[in-house]
């Protein structure tokens, strides 16, 4: 619920999905889930002009219309202590169909989710993970035995790929998950999917930014205030 440009980061993530045609959401609630419930319960009143009649003829008439008319949002309590895999497992009953998407609540990207879905359907495996080339948090340098710096690169790209947090799963992925609190999606479930040859990587070469610190919160607000935030694809 931390705000970027006056809107919760959750709203930004949902707008990305909606832009690509994915408008049915299941939110896995835990710590401070009550704040998320209140946000959506009050969404119409907080995002529309309205006329309210008080007393015995109580009614509310909303005027105009916000842009989220066709969003369907299921809010599911998954427990305050549950890890990522447990949360996904606990909302299984709310997931219709054979294919579904999963993401975290703290990362923004300009990833084309239609292309991710097309890639997933093409390879036919159970799971797709969106990945990116990570950059070092620090400047990297080479130093000889005498202490002389022979080269320096400010925050270079590192080898390998990192999890960018936008997944596509087939329903059978639920078999890899447990509802036990300590089930971590990024540990045994993904490790076992990789072992079984059922995990594929969609390489995203564009913008991705995860907000874990106050400084990163400030950075995202600066990008929004610039008028051209990279994740605003809608």
| In a domain? residue 231 | no
* CB of 22 closer than 8 Å to CB of 113: yes
Asked if residue 189 is part of any domain, the answer here is: yes
Residue 151 located in a structural domain: yes
Mean pLDDT on 57-75: 88
Q: Average pLDDT, stretch 96-113?
A: 96
Within-domain flag for 234? no
Across the range 153-162, mean pLDDT stands at 65
Does residue 143 form part of some domain? Answer: yes
Nearest to 22 by CA among 66, 67, 71: 71
- Taking the model in full, what pTM does it have? 0.87
The enclosing domain of 27 has a CATH number of: 3.90.550.10
What share of the chain has pLDDT > 70, as a percent?
A: 92
pLDDT band of residue 154 (cuts 50, 70, 90) is low
Give the number of domains in the chain.
1
Indicate the pLDDT class of residue 184, thresholds 50, 70 and 90: very high
Residue 221 — pLDDT band, cuts 50, 70, 90?
very high
pLDDT for 62 equals 85
For residues 9 and 14, give the distance between their C-alpha atoms in angstroms, rounded to a whole number. Answer: 9
Domain that holds residue 111: 3-225
Residue 47 located in a structural domain: yes
Instruction: Tell whether the model's pLDDT for residue 136 goes beyond 60.
Output: no
Domain-embedded: residue 131: yes
């Amino acid at each position: 619920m931390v705000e970027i440009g006056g809107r919760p980061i959750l709203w930004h993530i949902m707008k990305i999905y909606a832009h690509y045609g994915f408008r049915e959401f299941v939110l896995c609630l835990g710590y401070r889930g009550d704040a998320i419930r209140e946000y959506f319960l009050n969404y119409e009143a907080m995002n529309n002009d309205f006329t309210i009649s008080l007393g015995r003829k109580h009614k509310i008439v909303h005027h105009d219309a916000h842009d989220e008319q066709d969003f369907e949002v299921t809010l599911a309590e998954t427990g305050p202590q549950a890890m990522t895999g447990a949360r996904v497992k606990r909302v299984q009953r709310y997931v219709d169909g054979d294919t579904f998407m999963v993401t975290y609540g703290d990362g923004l990207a300009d990833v084309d989710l239609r292309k991710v879905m097309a890639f997933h359907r093409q390879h036919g495996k159970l799971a797709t993970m969106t990945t990116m080339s990570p950059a070092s948090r620090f400047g990297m340098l080479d130093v000889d035995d005498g202490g002389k710096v022979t080269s320096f690169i400010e925050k270079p790209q590192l080898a390998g790929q990192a999890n960018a947090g936008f997944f596509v799963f087939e329903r059978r992925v639920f078999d890899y998950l447990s509802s036990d609190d300590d089930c971590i999606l990024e540990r045994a479930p993904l490790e076992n999917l990789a072992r079984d040859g059922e995990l594929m990587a969609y390489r995203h070469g564009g913008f991705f930014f995860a907000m874990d610190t106050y400084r990163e919160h400030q950075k995202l607000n600066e990008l929004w205030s610039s008028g051209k935030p990279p994740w605003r694809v809608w």
